[in-house]
Chains A and B, each alone.
Chain A
Amino acid sequence: MKKAASLLVLAIMLVAFSGLASAQTELSLWYHGAGNETERSILLGIIDDFNALQSDYAVVLEEFPQESYNSSIVAAALAGDLPDIIDVDGPVMPGWAWAGYMVPLNLSEGALDDFLPGAIGTWNGDVYSVGLWDAAVALLALESTLDAHGIRVPTLDAPWTGEEFDDILEQLQATGDYEYALDLGMAWTGEWYPYAFSPLLQSFGGDMIDRDTYLSAEGVLNGDEAVAFGEWWQSLFERGLAAGTSQDGADRETCFIDQTCAVQWNGNWAGLGALEAHGDDLLFLPAPDFGAGSTIGAASWQFGISSASENPEGASAFIEFAIQDEYLAAFSDGIGLIPATSSAAAISEYYSEGGPLEVFYGLSNEQALVRPVTPGYATMALIFEKALADIANGADVLDTLDAAVDEIDQDIEDNGGYGFEM
């Protein structure tokens, strides 16, 4: 008894002085979630567990606001001040890996077997990053709306065809009940454009770049399929079916909830709010198929190891620790994201069988296509965004796509192929 008490005192003292006397090596972790209390507490929970369960490393969290996280990382890299573990947005990872900011993960065999493809970040044959979740996009609509207008409910196996989709929008717009039949979220400038809209282009048969060589967008972003997509895209706004680039953020966030738009193209993170407003009436529908299949974007925030880390094996150990199902499910329950494994989905609140967002797991698993895996993506994404905005505002489709292709190709050339064989 006495011995136990003195052990306890010793333990308390050890904990109290751990800051001074700890044998644990500090690993810094930078995270993009500043301002999100839920994310913070879940992540801190993982870190505490990790720090308590082994004695070699102590992870320390620094948080940054998401909007400017990438700038903070780039600035730190320029100044030679990177942390050990960084989190990185999926499509940005190849750029950082190529630039030497990151080193490959060193996970044990089979650690990622059950993972959604979009949650694994691969570059040059190596896994550089892994996500605890993925995100997915779906069409939101009310069952009652579809029923009232005799519109069939599409499924993963039989999504709406492009023509069908177009007719439905026309039909809904003609009812006069809505400001716009479709809300695409044009207010969300930035990454939303390539993430949410390039899958539509892909469904037409085009793409942002030729994925065989990753050296040119010629014929892919300005080929016949891409032009067909561009014409359709432009017509959405010309016909007044969707709000254009000047949409304000408020309309984006309220239109579906207030039913001033009938169909909304939105991410799973908006699912909970919509469910609250519409309950069982709410449907999450797969993207329409414009001929080359129905597809959505993939890859969200992931963890990787910085090249500045003196303890990459410790960083790997932490990441491997963090990708346990229990934590994946915790993140999902906390902020509504899609758990990266089916076993985590099964124990999660929203994505388990019969869960309200279950359908998104299916979408992610079956339809997701990652954005172009190249260091040139960051630049390409901005060029693509501008092209879509210009076309939406009435610019000549072919000329605009030509210009985008020229700029993308020029950028690739200026960068010596971004690591691809020229």
Chain B
Amino acid sequence: MTSAASARKNAPIWVRLLLPRDAPLYQRNDAVMGWLMALPALLILTIFLVIPFMMAFVVSFTNQRLISPNPAEWVGFRNFERLLTIRNFTLEPERDDSGAIVYADGEISYPRLREFTRNNPDYPELDGLREFTSWQSGDNRTVILVGDVVFLRALINTLIFAAVIAPLQGGLALLLALLLNQALPFINVFRSIYFAPVVVSMVVVSLLWRFIYDGQNGLLNTILGMITFGNFQPVDWLGNPYTAMPAMIAMSAWQAVGFHMVIWLAGLQTIPVSLYEAAGLDGAGAFQKFRYVTWPGLRNTAVLVLIVITIQAMGLFVQVDVMTRGGPLDATQSVVFQAVQRGYDKQDIAEGAAISVILFVIVFTIAMVQRYLTRERS
């Protein structure tokens, strides 16, 4: 040990810099090659990803505009405050002169919120806030007021989208992979067909599905009508706030499931046939084989699929941009769509950058938690 330490001490500076503290000197070749092999990729990532992101990070603390002759100024956390302000506020019922509560149509009548949130010098802290949600508490109404309703909806929508699509798409992909992982004639044809939507760009897919989801005479309504012999009431899939997000989730899963199916298939095919044969000899049924042979063998694939889907889902953008532009009534707003719309279309690049920074922090946290939960326990 001491000799190793002294050998290390006498080694050239670059060896000491590259070699891990606890590694013996004979591994210096590893260390140098390790750096060299990683370097090209790291360099490119740094220049074209890390630096631009750092620039966005810096911009998020300014009032930089996309198009403007005005010089940018530091504004501290202003952009973040605007996005993240949340307050609760109690709305008291309207009372008549005698102090009795005023009812309208059998319901307690409240003053309009705008009397408090717009130019009311008594409530400066509420100025410009909007209602996010509210509920009844006794005679009063508790209102959650936020600085940026649209952003908050976008954030919640995106989280829901990711939370639903990760198990849905991953699970469906696994089912398809299991279905295809057998030696039947023409199985390759089916594999290619299931994969086909993946190769169609999301822009294109979204365009096509606008036709399919159309409320008046869309294909989906037509098909559902035929299957139910005309008993199906046509739904305006993208026009109804309750169906828009599920419709988008279904389409997104449809488009990408083939890709993850292929990843699962690759994983499945690395499981040695001998393991199945051994399990068969032990009298295991199909389900048991899956439970004790297949699933453990797919562990790493599962982690991969889960993380990749989640991260891609958090970047939800194209579908929203092409199909709904965030509507109806913000039902399909997404964080990246908001970042893009504000940064480019509304030319408020600083606020767009602030949204990206928030997204980064959230996704990074999720990824770390996922990695922690799925870490290998030795």
Contact = CB atoms under 8 A, between A and B. Distances in A.
Interface of A: 71, 74, 77-78, 95-96, 98-101, 179, 189, 243-251, 375, 378-379, 382-383, 386, 389-390, 393-395, 398-399, 402-403, 406, 410-411, 414-416
A74 B69 contact: no
A96 B67 CA distance: 8
Interface string B61-78: 001011111100000000
Nearest to B240: A246
Chain B interface size band reads 35 or more
B70 A403 contact: no
A71 B343 CA distance: 12
Judged by DSSP, the binding face of A is helix
A65 B69 CA distance: 27
Contacts of A383: 346
Contact of B114 (A95, A99, A394, A402): A402
**Which of B70, B130, B324 gathers most chain A CB within 10 Å?**
B70
Contacts of B112: 398
B329 A382 contact: no
11 contacts: A95-B347, A99-B69, A243-B216, A246-B214, A248-B214, A250-B214, A382-B345, A389-B325, A393-B328, A398-B112, A415-B68
B83 to A, nearest CB: 13
Interface string B239-283: 111000000000000000000000000000000000000000000
Contacts of B171: none
B344 interface: yes
Nearest to B351: A414
Nearest to B66: A74
A417 to B, nearest CB: 10
B238 A99 contact: no
A195 B350 CA distance: 28
Contacts of B69: 98-100
Interface of B: 63, 65-70, 112-114, 118, 128, 130-131, 149, 210-211, 213-218, 236-241, 324-330, 341, 344-348
Nearest to B244: A246
A244 B239 contact: yes
B239 A245 contact: yes
B67 A74 contact: yes
Contacts of B240: 246
A100 B112 CA distance: 44
Q: What 7 A-B pairs have minimum CB-CB distances, sorted nearest first? A: A246-B239, A393-B328, A99-B67, A248-B214, A246-B238, A379-B346, A393-B329
B34 to A, nearest CB: 37
Nearest to B118: A402
A251 B329 contact: no
A394 B239 CA distance: 11
Contacts of A101: 67
Contact of B329 (A249, A378, A395): A395
Contacts of A403: 130, 149
B68 A99 contact: yes
Contacts of A406: 118, 128
B211 A394 contact: no
B348 A414 contact: yes
A389 B241 CA distance: 12
Contacts of B130: 399, 403
B216 A415 contact: no
A243 B217 CA distance: 12
